[in-house]
Structure 1
Amino acid sequence: MKNRNIDFSMVLALTVHDMKNSLGMLLNSLDELRMENENTFDDSSKFNTLQYEAERIHNDLVQLLGIYRLGENNLSAHVEEHFVPDFLSEHLARHTPLLKGLDIECSIVAEDINGFFDADLLTGVLNNTINNAIRYTKTRIRLTANEQDGYLVIGVEDDGEGYPEHMQHSGTLSFKSLDFNTGSTSLGLLFVSAVADLHCEGERTGHIKLHNGGPLGGGVFELWLP
């Protein structure tokens, strides 16, 4: 029998990529269905659950691909200048139909500032954190952006119960820090932490902060970029 030398990790990555693209098409179709049947689907808990779970799986696949590329040393940040309020508004618009259907109020409080970052990588970060906030919030989500200590700080806040103590964190996560016995591996946090770490200026690198409080009183996710 021939040794076919199949690279299973590559096969898995290609499969995940195809699944991600298919789910992207499904999400677009769900958005169109909601627009065509607004009065019917906005109040449908089943449709809202379907859209939320499809979005969550899509985000998981994006993160898996990112972590695979990270492991292959093939993930890098292509930094360009962006007007932050517009960037946040564009990404919030993607979630607006679902937020409306779930009766969740979302606002943006952002300084008129420019930031230097990889827009594609930050799209994955925002989709992950907004989707996570949708899961745990009660009625409100807030996106923020400001400058602190020479960093661009992008935040996602909610009015839920907040992060449990073991998840509150400041700095950079590593794969070794993940606990596979808790039922929640926090791969999403590993992905966003890795994206932050890819943004650097001199000796300063990006990092994340997870804590509770803020104006809404729930969980606060912060991405700090130099």
Structure 2
Amino acid sequence: MTDSDLPAHETPLKDPGIDFSMVLASAVHDMKNSLGMLLNSLDELRHDNENTLGGSNQFNMLQYEAERMHNDLVQLLGIYRLGENNLSAHIEEHFVPDFLSEHMARHTPLLEGLGIECTIDADNINGFFDADLLTGVLNNTINNAIRYTKSKIRLTAREQDGYLVIGVEDDGKGYPASMQLSGTLTFKSLDFNSGSTSLGLFFASSVAKLHSEGTSTGSIKLHNGGEFGGGVFEIWLP
């Protein structure tokens, strides 16, 4: 049977003018905004009911998973814009300790609810970077650290070899050998059949590459060690 043999009400509809990637991007954007409002509501709910919700495993898991999904959607939009050659870094100067402190403040209620200690060890230095893009990278990295840590997370910042190095450390088991890397990731290197596509790392690597100065380009490093002997994520920005 061909399409012409079908009754009129069964004729398949086709519209070659539909840009499905744009439809998905629009839907992802709407979902991201909705989750952002949900996270704000959860923060207010925690603040108003700290005595009853602060130690609730169910509430903490709800907030953690909502944060994780929000981060995933932010990354998907960033990767879409990257594929459309529409993602660029707006470089401004920032005092790094203040940037990290302000960034960590949004995670503090959840960290305290989960019983995770978080410290910041940052040199008194200024850095030149896109704060929004770096926030997206750190949100995802801290969220991963929350998942794998035993009880401690540490944010670090230093200058080394002409780069600003911002790190996230935890006291978990560390990265498996297959995930440890130094440099940049390409989209073709992602394995969509393994169940772990590393989209977060690809996004972080892409953000790092958008930061350059002269012949120097940003990159990421994953290794084990640090103060706690667990996993260490670092983003190097020139």
* Structure 1 gaps, min length 5: none
How many residues end up aligned between the 2 structures? 226
- Tell me the CA shift for residue 2 of structure 1: 7.1
User: Could you say which residue in structure 2 is the equivalent of 1:130?
Assistant: 142
User: Could you say which residue in structure 1 is the equivalent of 2:156?
Assistant: 144
Q: Does the C-alpha gap of structure 1 residues 54 and 202 become closer, same or farther in structure 2, counting only changes over 3 Å?
A: same
User: Could you say which residue in structure 1 is the equivalent of 2:178?
Assistant: 166
SS of equivalent residue, structure 1 residue 123: helix
Residues 1:33 and 2:53 are matched in the alignment: no
CA distance in 1, matches of 2:49, 2:14: 56
CA distance in 1, matches of 2:47, 2:90: 35
SS of equivalent residue, structure 2 residue 106: helix
- Tell me the CA shift for residue 176 of structure 1: 1.2
Q: 1:113 aligns with which of 125, 134, 137?
A: 125
User: Could you say which residue in structure 2 is the equivalent of 1:92?
Assistant: 104
Please, what TM-score do these two structures have when normalized by structure 1? Answer: 0.98
User: Could you say which residue in structure 1 is the equivalent of 2:80?
Assistant: 68
CA distance in 1, matches of 2:114, 2:199: 26
Q: 1:81 aligns with which of 87, 93, 96?
A: 93
* Larger Cα-atom Rg: 2
CA distance in 2, matches of 1:3, 1:175: 29
Residues 31-89 of structure 1: per-residue CA shift (max 9 Å, x gap): 00001110111111000000000000000000000000000000000100000000000
- Tell me the CA shift for residue 181 of structure 1: 2.2
Moved over 2 A (4+): 1-4
- Tell me the CA shift for residue 180 of structure 1: 1.7
CA distance in 2, matches of 1:178, 1:49: 28
Percent identity between the two aligned chains: 81
SS of equivalent residue, structure 1 residue 57: helix
SS of equivalent residue, structure 2 residue 107: helix
Q: Which amino acid aligns with 2:39?
A: L
Please, what TM-score do these two structures have when normalized by structure 2? Answer: 0.93
SS of equivalent residue, structure 2 residue 128: strand
CA distance in 2, matches of 1:144, 1:7: 42
Which runs of structure 2 are paired with 1:4-15 in the superposition (5 Å)?
A: 4-15=16-27
User: Could you say which residue in structure 2 is the equivalent of 1:199?
Assistant: 211
Q: Which amino acid aligns with 1:210?
A: L
User: Could you say which residue in structure 2 is the equivalent of 1:16?
Assistant: 28
Q: Which amino acid aligns with 2:17?
A: N
Residues 184-207 of structure 1: per-residue CA shift (max 9 Å, x gap): 110000000000000000111000
Q: Which amino acid aligns with 2:236?
A: W
Q: Which amino acid aligns with 1:97?
A: P
Q: Which amino acid aligns with 2:162?
A: G
Q: 2:57 aligns with which of 45, 62, 86?
A: 45
User: Could you say which residue in structure 2 is the equivalent of 1:190?
Assistant: 202
CA distance in 1, matches of 2:224, 2:16: 52
TM-align CA RMSD? 0.9
- Tell me the CA shift for residue 99 of structure 1: 0.0
Q: Which amino acid aligns with 1:62?
A: V
